[in-house]
């Protein structure tokens, strides 16, 4: 095969370390960004936290004292490195190629140790108690033979966080058989059942039940004997729980010989019980959201602002910056100049992130002003390409900006992606957002007659009367996404 030389012109995006850093900061959430800033503060001596009354250092600030041309040339950003603001409108894949690293630009510097401090803000925080811990604590207060205590510990280990027993007593008894113990000294199945009955008296009431029927029955036993409709509730749970689960109230009235009003009272009593008693002890940890953008109405206009509390204000340390200019030693001078350059690039990337986020959020608010004024039913159809075209950025950049970023509005805190949705055509040739359709379905089901809940077909017919063409299966899909059960499960007695 003959080898030849040829010239070829083309455009390509060079993933410099500066651009990689800007993209990485752009897709971080508020909490992750705070952690990234803290890590950078610990590793770069040139950066420090800015005081509340002092503005953060920016690249446009002039140096405090004059410098020679040689010194200035080493401290400004490399003019041959493209500005990251001009590169964010280029298409980029999810996996960022790495063709260079920080070691190609800077000397390999070690991270400085964090300041010593004996204060730990999490030291006094109490550990979250699990259901197993709660049951173990009660077991330790219960007088019991050692053999029974071993059975009780096995039972507690088999209780899931919801409070239900995960295995049968037969399997539990088989797991406790020890071949090294004589047969006459081994525990029996009756021993396991007896210990289980004692554990079922622990708090929360209904714990260690083998099924839903037993769980509810254990809670009914603990109620005072003079509780109205207690006997009827016990009978319904013991014999007709499947009919209650299916909302078959006609058969329930016929089998229990109760009128509709009486059955309504019995069902109301059963609804006071907890089918997941363990949830009262082992609650999920709260997942706090820090909004990146705050939207408020001021003098009749919607104002979009960045949440200053979400991002710590940092600046370049003026003392170390001056030290970098005065140092004469070659190795120390190189280290300080590289640290200063890295700090300025980091501040530049932060500013790029803030500017891009504010531009995208402002355009979203401009398009979805109806949502802020009237609610989800006024949400307009919107896709990433629409915002990308409006702010003159690439669609992949918009995707990164809107992922794990939250906006605080008078109607609540929403992820930026919440404001994007597909559209459904109307009979008049217009378009309706799928989010608006979900809001209409939620409103219709909330206002329906609980005796005769709306079916998916009926909801589709109501929407068609409002010039919204949506199929029954689409209504079912939207209803399921809202965690709204089907009509037969929404039926209730008044």
pLDDT score, position 121: 44
Where among 390, 420, 450 does a domain terminate? 420
pTM of the model: 0.66
In this structure, are 202 and 306 located in the same domain?
Answer: no
Q: What is the pLDDT of residue 23?
A: 83
Say if residue 414 is in the same domain as residue 325. yes
pLDDT band for 18, please (50, 70, 90 cuts).
Answer: confident
pLDDT at 210 over 60: yes
User: Within this chain, do residues 394 and 297 fall inside the same structural domain, yes or no?
Assistant: yes
* Predicted pLDDT of residue 114: 43
Mean pLDDT of the 452-463 span: 92
90 vs 453: which has the higher pLDDT: 453
Whether residue 147 sits in one domain with residue 265: yes
* pLDDT tens figures, 266-288: 999 999 999 999 988 866 556 67
82 vs 22: CA distance, rounded Å: 12
pLDDT of residue 56: 43
Cβ atoms within 10 A of the Cβ of 471, count?
Answer: 13
pLDDT, position 410: 93
Are 153 and 258 in a shared domain?
yes
Is residue 75 in a domain?
A: yes
What's residue 331's pLDDT? Answer: 82
Do 389 and 377 share a structural domain?
yes
Mean pLDDT of the chain: 81
Tell me whether residue 354 is exposed, middle or buried, using C-beta atoms within 10 angstroms of its C-beta: 0 to 12, 13 to 18, 19 or more. middle
Instruction: Give Cα separations from 78 to 73, 81, 342 (angstroms).
Output: 9, 6, 11
Q: At 32, phi and psi to the nearest 5?
A: -65, -35
pLDDT at 79 over 60: no
Residue 159's φ and ψ, nearest 5 degrees, are: -85, 125
**What pLDDT, on the 0 to 100 scale, is given for residue 225?**
92
Cα 254 to Cα 143: distance, rounded to the nearest angstrom: 48
pLDDT value at residue 286: 62
Residue 363 domain-assigned (yes or no): yes
Mean pLDDT of 215-227: 94
pLDDT at 228 over 90: yes
pLDDT higher than 70, residue 72: no
- Count of domains for the chain: 3
Task: Determine, yes or no, domain membership for 6.
Answer: no
Same domain, 392 and 433: no
Residues 157-182: tens digit of each pLDDT: 999 999 999 899 999 999 888 878 77
Residue at a domain's end among 238, 258, 280? 280
pLDDT above 90 (res 450): no
Regarding predicted confidence, which is higher, 80 or 389? 389
Any domain includes 239:
yes
Whether 56 is covered by a domain: the verdict is yes
CA dihedral 122, 125, 126, 127 (to 10 degrees): -30
Find the mean pLDDT for residues 347-361: 92
Last residue of a domain, one of 383, 403, 420: 420
Asked if residue 69 is part of any domain, the answer here is: yes
The whole-number average pLDDT for the span 338-349 is 91
pLDDT > 70: what percent of the chain? 81
pLDDT tens string 41-61: 999 988 888 865 444 444 444
Range of the domain at 483: 423-490
Report residue 200's pLDDT band, with 50, 70 and 90 as the boundaries.
very high
Higher-scoring residue by pLDDT: 189, 128: 189
Same domain, 407 and 438: no
pLDDT of residue 90: 54
Q: 3-class secondary structure for 227-282?
A: CCCHHHHHHHHHHCHHHHHCCCHHHHHHHHCCCHHHHHHHHHHHHCCCCCHHHHCC
d(C-alpha 127, C-alpha 302), whole Å: 43
User: CA 365, CA 368: separation in Å to the nearest integer?
Assistant: 5
Assess whether 396 and 309 both reside in one domain: yes
Q: Say if residue 84 is in the same domain as residue 138.
A: no
Asked if the bond preceding 204 is cis, omega within 30° of 0, the reply is yes
pLDDT interval class at 107 (50, 70, 90): very low
Q: What is the mean pLDDT of residues 16-20?
A: 78
The model's pLDDT over 366-424, given as tens digits with 9 standing for 90+, comes to: 999 999 999 998 899 999 999 999 999 889 889 989 998 999 999 999 999 999 988 77
Same domain, 412 and 439: no
Residues 183 and 313 grouped into a single domain: no
In a domain, 156, yes or no: yes
Q: Is residue 120 part of a domain?
A: no
The CATH number of whichever domain residue 481 belongs to comes to: 1.10.10.60
């Amino acid at each position: 095969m003959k080898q030849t030389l040829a010239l070829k012109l083309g455009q390509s995006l060079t993933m410099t370390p500066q651009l990689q850093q800007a993209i990485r900061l752009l897709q971080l959430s508020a909490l992750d960004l705070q952690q990234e800033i803290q890590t950078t503060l610990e590793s770069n001596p040139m950066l420090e936290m800015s005081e509340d009354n002092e503005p953060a250092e920016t690249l446009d600030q002039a140096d405090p004292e004059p410098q020679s041309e040689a010194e200035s040339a080493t401290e400004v950003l490399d003019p041959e490195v493209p500005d990251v603001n001009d590169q964010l409108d280029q298409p980029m894949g999810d996996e960022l190629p790495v063709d260079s690293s920080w070691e190609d630009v800077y000397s390999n510097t070690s991270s400085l140790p964090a300041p010593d401090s004996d204060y730990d803000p999490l030291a006094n925080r109490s550990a979250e108690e699990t259901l197993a811990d709660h049951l173990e604590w009660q077991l330790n207060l219960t007088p019991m033979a050692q053999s029974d205590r071993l059975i009780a510990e096995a039972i507690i280990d088999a209780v899931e966080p919801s409070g239900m027993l995960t295995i049968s007593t037969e399997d539990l008894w088989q797991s406790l058989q020890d071949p090294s113990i004589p047969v006459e000294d081994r525990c029996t199945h009756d021993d396991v059942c007896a210990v289980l009955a004692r554990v079922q008296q622990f708090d929360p009431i209904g714990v260690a039940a083998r099924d839903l029927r037993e769980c509810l029955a254990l809670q009914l036993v603990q109620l005072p004997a003079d509780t109205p409709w207690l006997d009827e509730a016990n009978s319904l749970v013991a014999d007709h729980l499947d009919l209650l689960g299916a909302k078959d109230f006609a058969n329930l009235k016929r089998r229990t010989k109760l009128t509709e009003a009486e059955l309504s009272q019995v069902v109301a009593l059963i609804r006071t019980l907890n089918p997941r008693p363990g949830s009262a002890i082992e609650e999920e940890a709260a997942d706090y959201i820090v909004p990146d953008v705050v939207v408020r109405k001021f003098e009749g206009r919607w104002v979009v602002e960045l949440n200053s509390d979400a991002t710590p204000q940092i600046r370049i340390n003026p003392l170390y910056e001056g030290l970098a200019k005065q140092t004469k030693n070659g190795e120390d001078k190189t280290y300080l100049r590289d640290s200063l350059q890295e700090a300025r690039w980091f501040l530049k990337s932060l500013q790029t992130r803030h500017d891009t986020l504010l531009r995208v959020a402002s355009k979203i608010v401009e398009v979805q002003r109806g949502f802020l004024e009237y609610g989800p039913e006024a949400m307009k159809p919107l896709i990433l390409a629409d915002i990308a075209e409006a702010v003159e950025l690439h669609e992949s950049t918009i995707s990164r900006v809107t992922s794990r970023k939250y906006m605080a509005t008078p109607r609540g805190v929403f992820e930026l992606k919440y404001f994007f949705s597909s559209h459904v055509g109307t009979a008049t040739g217009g378009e309706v957002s799928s989010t608006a359709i979900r809001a209409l379905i939620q409103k219709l089901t909330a206002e329906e007659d609980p005796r005769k809940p709306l079916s998916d077909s009926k909801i589709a017919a109501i929407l068609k009367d409002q010039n919204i063409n949506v199929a029954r299966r689409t209504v079912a899909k939207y209803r399921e996404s809202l965690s709204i059960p089907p009509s037969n499960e929404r039926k209730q007695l008044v």
